[in-house]
Every structure is written in C-alpha cells, then in structure tokens.
A and B are shown apart, each in its own frame.
Chain A
Amino acid sequence: MNDDNDPAWPVELINLNCPNCRCLTSGEREIGLDTALDTLLGTFLSGDRRAAARLISVVENGGPRAEAVLHALYPRLGGAPRVGVTGPPGVGKSTLVDALVRHHRGQGRRVGVVAVDPTSPFTGGAVLGDRVRMSDLATDLGVFIRSMATRGSLGGLARTTKEVVDVLEAFGQEILLIETVGVGQTEMDIASAADTVVVVVSPESGDAIQAMKAGLMEVADLLVVNKADRPGTSQMVRALEADLAMRPAGGWRPPVLVTVASRGEGTDEVAAAVGRHREHLSASGALGERRHARARAEIVAILRDRLWQRVHERLADRLPDWVARVEAGHATPYTAARALLAAFLEDEA
C-alpha cells in the first residue's frame, strides 16, 4: 500500500514544489490533481492493473502530472531487460512478440508489452491492432499489454515509449518488449528505448530492406527471418549475413536466426540470443554505455522540447512577420532565425 515510510516510495516528492522542473508549482487545480495522483500511485503500488493503466495514460499525455509520476517511479526502476522488436509491416512481429511472451511466461517472468502503431497525421486517430495476436494472453495476469499511438511524436516517440515502459517496469514487469513498425524514424526511436533490438524480416522483405537498410539494419542486435517455411528464406539469410560481413569487426556480431513464429519454431532460440546479447552488454560494459547514452539523449530531448516551447511562447507573435519577409525575398531564413534568437535572448535576459 501507499506507505510513506517505505524508502522505495518517495511520496513526498510528488507533494513538493519541485524547483527544477517547475511542475506542481501553483494553482489550486494542480494541487487537486496531486491528491488524485497520490491515490492513484498508492493503488498502483498495491498491484492494481487499472491504476497502472491510468498512470500510463498520465505519462502518455505528458505535462506536469507525467513528470510527477515519473519522479515518483524513478527509484523503482532496476534495469529489467528492454527488448525492441521492429521490422517492415506484415513480417509477423506481433506473432514473434507473442511467442517471446509465452517463452518468458513459461519461465515464470512477468512481462510487459508496449505495441506502438502510427497515428494518422490527418485525423489524429489511430487503429491499434497488436493485441489481436496476443488475445489469449489477455487474461494472463502476469502479462500487461499496452497499445500506443505515435501521436505525431510531440516530444519524441522514443521518450514517451521509454516512459510507458518505465511505468510497466515500476509495476513489476520483469521483461519489457517494445514492438514498433519499422518504416522510417520509429526504428531509431526503438533503438534508444531498448537494450536489445530485434529486427524481423520475412523472406519477401527484400524491397523493404533495401528501402530502409540504413536505418533498420544498423540498429539490429539480432536479425530474425520469420515465416521461414516460405520460399526465399535461405537467400534472405545469406543476403543479411553478407550485409553484416561489411560491418567493422569486433564487438557484437548480430546473429541471423530463422523462425516460424506462428508455430513457435525457433522462438526459444531468439529468446536465448537476446539473453546472450544482454550478457555481452553487461560483460563488455556496453550496457552501461547504452544506458548512459540513453540518459543523455533523454535530457537533451527534454531540454530541446522545453527550450522550443519557451521560444515558441515568446516568439509566436513575431514569427509571422519574419515568415512574410522571407517569403517576399527580403530576408533569408538564416537572417530571420538569427534575429528571432537574438530577440529571445534579450527577452530572457
């Protein structure tokens, strides 16, 4: 329960006016929210899944309440393995994730899954369909599955995803799986949210891989050719291995594995390879490096957001004028930016 004496549970944090992040500073409304959040956090700690789900929503929706939650949960994070699964559409990512969840459940671990799907840039809506594969895991109390929309990535998909995973870890999930469609920026995001990235392709993925080679292949710690009962599997494996051979020697060499995830074939090997990668990360010190880099990236991202918000607040009035000047050819975008920045710094001072 919400026990103020529990050292792992710094409830006082959320009731403090935190000078560093300006959250919860003033106003009756925010104080009111605190009480509600406080109760919610307490219920969360007692293992209530509805409370966990609500905290995830709070974190996803951002703002001061999200910060308060993350503050409170931060001490509860231990370093549970975070595995990203990405790849082109239709290669069977959800099926592989499903098989990995079963593997870990078989070993008695609590599993958290975050499945990310794109938000429509036109309507802001999204259809999140990844639960389908995992439907019979829906009633397994050791599994918590959450679908997320990219929501135009305000503040960065990577950060929100990571924070949602944080909540799941704080809830006691011992292994965290993050599934995203690898169709552009998202694979870079997943790389920064996960310790191990599994890139899944199918024998038919040739064109898709060509198109995203630069991004997708480079983030891979593990390559999986799923649907390996289809023709073209061995060619795909050879092509991937040839590609990997071009990488500089030394360090971790990503293995190429084959699976028929729909029948559970080869999926234990994938789980084992993920484990080996993790051991490699710990032994080589790379895990520390990754988490270090992630912490840095997070700070930078938050800073960038905050700065931009601030800049935007201050300069929103003056921006249209400069846009017009650039449009008319009276100024270059650089001149405009320089002038605006100067104005901002002056205001701040």
Chain B
Amino acid sequence: MSDHPAARSGRDLLGGLYRRPDDSNRHVTVSGQEIPLVATPADVADLDYARDLGDPGQYPYTRGIHADMYRGKLWTMRQFAGFGTAEQTNERYRFLLARGQTGLSVAFDLPTLMGRDSDDPWSAGEVGKCGVAISSLEDMETLFAGIPLADVSTSMTINSPAAIIWAMYIAAAENQGADRAKLRGTLQNDILKEFIAQKEFIFPPVPSLKLVVDTIEFASREMPLFNPISISGYHIREAGSTAVQELAFTLADGFAYVDAAIAAGLDVDEFAPRLSFFFNSHLDLFEEIAKFRAARRIWARHLRERYGARNPRSWLLRFHTQTAGCSLTAQQPQLNVVRTAYQALAGVLGGTQSLHTNSLDEALALPSEEAVEIALRTQQILAHEIGVASTIDPLAGSYFVEKLTTEMEAGAEAYFARIAEVGGVIPALEEGFFQREIADAAHWYQQALERKQRVVVGVNEYVNPDEKQQIPLLRIDKDVARSQERKLAALRARRDEAAVRAALGQIETAARDGANLMPRFLDAVRAYATLGEIVGALKAVYGEYTEPIII
C-alpha cells in the first residue's frame, strides 16, 4: 500500500502553504496547493469517523449542522442588492421577493459604509454607486416601505458603522409596529476583516472591536433571533488570499470576537449561538468543499474544547456563501453563469445555510435586473433539478475530499499558531501580517495567470478576438446625489436640532465611559441625527485609523 505512487505523493503536501507551480507536471489548486493524481485509503488512514466526522447534526459537525439538512429546509437564497436611492432599491427588493427570493440582503453605498452622509464632500461621485445611500432613519424607512420587517429576514452588509445602521433598522421596524425581539436577520459587522482585507475601517482596532462587542451584547439580551455579526472570509479571499488563509484568518477573527465578548463579561453560551460566518466559494470545487467542512470541524472543536462552551448551539458554525466575485471575467461575460453555477454547487455540497450567486455582468458594473434573475434561477436549478439537495454531505468518505479537509484544518491550525506568536489578531493586523500574506498570495496568483500556469477561459486562453462588449449594463442615475442632498437638507431643517445635539452629546459621553452604545444610537437615530453626525461624535472620542502599508 505505501508503495502506491498516490500514497507517496500525498506526503509532500504542505497544509496551508501555496507553492510556486514551477514544475508543469504539478497540479495545484486555485490556491496553489499541490494535489495528487489520485487519493487512496492511505490518505485517510488516520481518520476516525466518530472523532473527525460524526453524523450530520453531530459533533464535530464536519458533515453538516443539521440532521435533516436541505430536506428539512433549503438554504436561503439571498441576493445582495442595493443601488441608487432608497426608493430605487425598495423597488428591486419587491421585484426579488416577487421572483421567489427568500431573504433580503442590503448593499450600502461607499459613503454609508464609511459612515459619511450623502452630502459629505468625501462622498462626491460615490453616492448610490455600489449600493444604496442611507444617511438617516428617514432613508431606512423608505428602503423598507411596504415590506413588513417582522416577516422577512434581512442581511445588512455594513461594518464600521454597523451598530448605527442596525439602530436605524430596529427603529424603522418598530415604527412599522414590529417587536424588536422578533426581528430576524444578520449584520455583517465584522470589523477585523476590514483591517485585514477590505479596508473599510474608520476607528482604530480597539474601539472598533468594542463597538462589535456592544452589538453582540445587545443581541444576546434583546434581539435573540438576530445574528449580530457575520464573520467574513469572503473579502479576505477577494483580496487575493488562498483558501487556507481565508479559512484561518476568518476563524482567527471569530476567536478574537469570542475572546473580546468573554473579556467584556459575557458567557460564551450566551452569545456564541448567534455568531454566524460568511465564506467565499471560489473556482476549485473540491478545495472549497473541504474548506467548508473543515471550518465546521475547527469551530466546533475550539468552542467546545478551548472555550468550554456547553450549549451545542455554540459549537455550530452556520454560514452564508457568496460565489467568488474576483473569478468573474469582463471577457465573454456569459461564461460567468457557468463559473457561478459550479461555485454555487460547492457551497451546497459544503452545506451552506444561505447563498448568493453573482450575476454575469458584475465584472463590469452592478448587476442588471435580467442578470440577477439568471443568478437566482441558477440556485433554483441547483435546489430542484439536479438532485444535490437530497443527500447530506455526499462526498464524505471520499479519500480526496477527506484528505483535503484534514489538510485544511492543519493549515489553519498552523496559521493560528503564527498569529498567536505575533501576539494575537490585533497586533498582527497592526503590523501587517495578514496583509502581507494576502498580498503575496495575490501576487503569486497574478503571476500564475500571466505565465498561463492557470487558464482563465476567454481571458488568457480561448480568447474571442472579435469580442465587443454587448451586455446591457445598469447605469446609476446621476441625480441620486442631488436628490439625497435635497432630502438631507430638508431633514436637517425639519428636525429638532436641540434633541439631535443632546443625543450626540450622550453618545460622546457614553463612548468615553465605555458604556454600551446601542441604546444611545437608538435615541440618536430616532431624533434623526444622521449617520455622519453620529460617526463624527465617535471620531471625536476614538480618533481615526491609518493602516501600515504592505505591498
């Protein structure tokens, strides 16, 4: 058995490290991980079913978090959407709900993501461009007009100012008559990955983390059905990381939030069941499936063994998946439908709880309505036509997939050790550890493309020389900024200025005292203080962050 060539080739795999594919006989994953010609029983000789896999719904949940999985409930089909004004996005939401989408997912524009009002000079050119502009409770009310927030689950992709936007959402729902304890949804609210990858940070890491802990505490006490955080690897991967880096850095962030909440006096079982995750599903089918399976196993083991969580719900890693935006091509964009379908398949075979499929035109612009419909229909085909939703974790026991899963776990553990050596997640991001690892991986990938060691159909091979861009692109109305400015001016003229000032003063005081800010944010948004004003009050206390430069 040990003489089998495949058994030998398995030994030189390095978990977590990508390699320069300088030998053309080597096959590597999209992450640069070398893979064998064939896997054999020797590759899984150490695997113990009860210890390492467990039945679906059983510790360590490698096979899935539910015993009935998609037969009990299909994954949530959740298309991320938002552009222009709150009115325009509200229309798109109604369209998606009418087409059978089962949850909402809000994309905010950059000024909102950066805590700036639409009329801030920094917002010039960006208002409503890559998401919807929300500067006040008034905009939030418009965004969900006619959509009963008591009945839908809403995911909001917002980070630095997440707590404030959440306060606006809660206030808007309560104004509709909804009970806050019944609201369902997910706040992305993962500031650590912003420092690591997406760079939409405002305040320095320590107060940023404190804001996250405030929301976790608030959710665990008052909003039991809401996920206050979606710990995200998606953006880490989009920034160019490998699969193992995505897995390791995301889980390391997750542990950092657990540590911070525990340090703030919360019991792990009080909040851990509400932590959720968000991963990327990239091109390499088996590597991605292994990543999802390893993620569940690692989280369960650490929560149970390291943090001593007693509630089995604390051990569960629930996650949303989005197909890889960075894998989409501007060339022959119709092919993106195919890429996305395979990536979605990996998500489903990996046991995702919800899924976003990218639209074919997203390398060029925000998706058009037609493109979004195809993306959503892709998920419906997966769910209903090709039979992959019926049997749980069908790849379990595959020599290759189990081997990859084990290596994913080992690679992630190796990174946890390196992060601990640097002193933890915050020191590591302040000194650029993650950024350097990701930049190196992105550079390697670019090189592999340019040397044609990786083929991208329609881009570096099989190019259509006569190609002309012909798909219709969504154009964002140029008047969005002006209409937002007018609305904000009217709001500022109409509201009770003294109440706004008082609420902002309260925020500053609470920020200095270290009190939980959620109640203060709720007061301020109800007084129609704007997002920019509230963030301004926090900046006065916390300051702003500048990152180290890592090329």
Contact = CB atoms under 8 A, between A and B. Distances in A.
B546 interface: yes
A213 interface: no
B543 A127 contact: no
Interface string A109-136: 0000000000000000001010011010
B543 A129 contact: no
B386 interface: no
A304 interface: no
A263 interface: yes
A206 interface: no
Contacts of B548: 90
Interface string B540-551: 000100111101
Nearest to B423: A204
Interface string A234-264: 0000000000000000000000000000110
B551 A133 contact: no
Contacts of B543: 262-263
A132 B432 CA distance: 14
A132 B549 contact: yes
B431 interface: yes
Interface residues of A, number: 9
Contacts of A133: 546
Nearest to B431: A90
Looking at chain B's contact residues, the main secondary structure is: loop
A263 B546 CA distance: 11
Contacts of B432: 90
A305 B432 CA distance: 39
A95 B547 CA distance: 11
A129 B439 CA distance: 15
Interface in B113-139: none
B348 to A, nearest CB: 42
Contacts of B551: 127, 129
B421 to A, nearest CB: 12
A188 to B, nearest CB: 25
B181 to A, nearest CB: 40
A132 B546 contact: yes
A41 B547 CA distance: 38
A213 to B, nearest CB: 22
A61 B207 CA distance: 46
Nearest to A130: B549
A133 B543 CA distance: 14
B83 to A, nearest CB: 29
A8 B548 CA distance: 43
Nearest to A134: B546
Interface string B418-445: 0000000000000110000000000000
Contacts of A135: 546
Contacts of A132: 546-547, 549
A129 B549 contact: yes
Interface string A14-26: 0000000000000
Nearest to B543: A263
Interface of B: 204, 431-432, 543, 546-549, 551
Interface of A: 90, 95, 127, 129, 132-133, 135, 262-263
Given A90-B431, A90-B432, A95-B546, 12 more contacts: A127-B551, A129-B549, A129-B551, A132-B546, A132-B547, A132-B549, A133-B546, A135-B546, A262-B204, A262-B543, A262-B546, A263-B543
16 contacts: A90-B431, A90-B432, A90-B548, A95-B546, A127-B551, A129-B549, A129-B551, A132-B546, A132-B547, A132-B549, A133-B546, A135-B546, A262-B204, A262-B543, A262-B546, A263-B543
Closest 5 CB pairs of A and B: A129-B549, A127-B551, A132-B549, A90-B431, A133-B546
